[in-house]
Amino acid sequence: MRTALIGYGLGGAAFHAPFIATTEGLTLSAVVTGNPERRAAVLARYPGTEVITAVDEVWRRADEFDLAVVTTPNRHHAAHARSALEHGLHAVVDKPFAGSPAAARALASVAADRGLRLMPFHNRRWDGDFRTVARLVREGALGEVHRWESRFERWRPEPKESWKESGDPADLGSIVYDLGTHLVDQAVALFGRPTAVYAEVRTLRPGAKAHDDAFLALTHAGGVVSHLWASALAADRGPRFRVLGDRAAYVKHGMDPQEELLKAGAVPGGTGWGADPEEAWGTLSGRPVETERGSYQDFYAIVAAGGTPVPVADAITGLEVVKAAFESAETRRTVPLADQVS
């Protein structure tokens, strides 16, 4: 598939380009960036890839591509995805998939009408620790799970000047859209659509313009409760996962190693890719359990094979949860998810 990668910030450079370039059946045909430094970086690492300075040129030359990968700033995700679909291209869309459930449903409708694949990029489903939890739940090692705790916590006491921390609602800069969408998607993948959402969403750091601390409690139809934390002001980080069942508990600290490898410029793949060091393994009621290999490459392997790695319906559900979370934080009440219809 001839692929146009739209955007070459951290997401494009670390989480998309290396996998597009190394996945059989995909070709990194073009990268869209108007930044001279990023242009030079693309040409240095991918000398056979064309650099295009404006996204409109991709639409004008749409017959030269098969797939568009949208990894632009959050406010542009839905618009760029719609343009890709309207020009006959399959589309991978970074998170957040859109700014609202209604916008996400509209994208899904366009894709369905045109017979095209629309693929939310929720790569954290291929984190090694998450794959481990999914296996333990599937095998019944925990018994009946009653609580799932998940955290993305960082220590960044100084706000940054970037669209990711913008106070403009159109920028979708809240930590709920950033780290929170990963947490919500993993909960949905494991336990299905929630029936109710409670949330506390705050801006804590002096000078911060966007939400930088959040707690979400999701009640799932099967009775499982997901407790999710995202924070930029966590001087002491809790466990990445704490999963409680009626037979055992699984606890895991630390982060999947793939992100740091990719930031350092590592080429994905190989026998050691995604391996967690033994000292970082989680425990099942005190017994160490080897972490599954992280495998972000599987996302693009599914794309190349003609599949859809993450259902669009799950991304829509995730945005319904986000919408309900903001309402809950504002009203200080639990919001039934069934009420979120727009």
pLDDT at position 342 is: 44
Residues 152 and 182: beta-carbon distance below 8 Å: yes
How much is the pLDDT for 95?
A: 95
Nearest-angstrom CA–CA distance, 14 and 259: 8
Q: What's the CATH class of domain 2-121? A: alpha beta
Q: What tens digit of pLDDT does each residue of 266-322 get? A: 999 888 999 999 999 999 999 999 999 999 999 999 999 999 999 999 999 999 999
The pLDDT profile of the chain, 342 residues, written as one tens digit per residue, is: 999 999 999 999 999 999 999 999 999 999 999 999 999 999 999 999 999 999 999 999 999 999 999 999 999 999 999 999 999 999 999 999 999 999 999 999 999 999 999 999 999 999 999 999 999 999 999 999 999 999 999 999 999 888 888 999 999 999 999 999 999 999 999 999 999 999 999 999 999 999 999 999 999 998 999 999 999 999 999 999 999 999 999 999 999 999 999 999 999 988 899 999 999 999 999 999 999 999 999 999 999 999 999 999 999 999 999 999 999 999 999 999 974 444
Calpha distance 273→187 (Å, rounded):
25
Which tokens sit at 301?
Answer: 């392997």
What was the pLDDT predicted at 270?
82
Length of the chain: 342
d(CA 285, CA 147): 15
pTM: predicted TM-score of the whole model, two decimal places: 0.95
Distance of CA 46 to the CA centre of its chain: 25
Pick the CATH number of 124-339 from 3.40.50.300, 3.30.360.10, 3.30.70.100, 3.30.565.10: 3.30.360.10
List where CATH 3.30.360.10 sits in the chain.
Answer: 124-339
- The CB density around residue 77, as the number of other CB atoms within 10 Å, is 28
- What is the model's pLDDT at position 117? 98
Which residues neighbour 195 within 8 Å (Cβ) at sequence distance 6 or greater?
219, 220, 221, 336, 337, 338
Angle, to 10 degrees, between the axis of helix 312-331 and the axis of helix 101-114?
Answer: 170
The boundaries of every CATH 3.40.50.720 domain in the chain are: 2-121
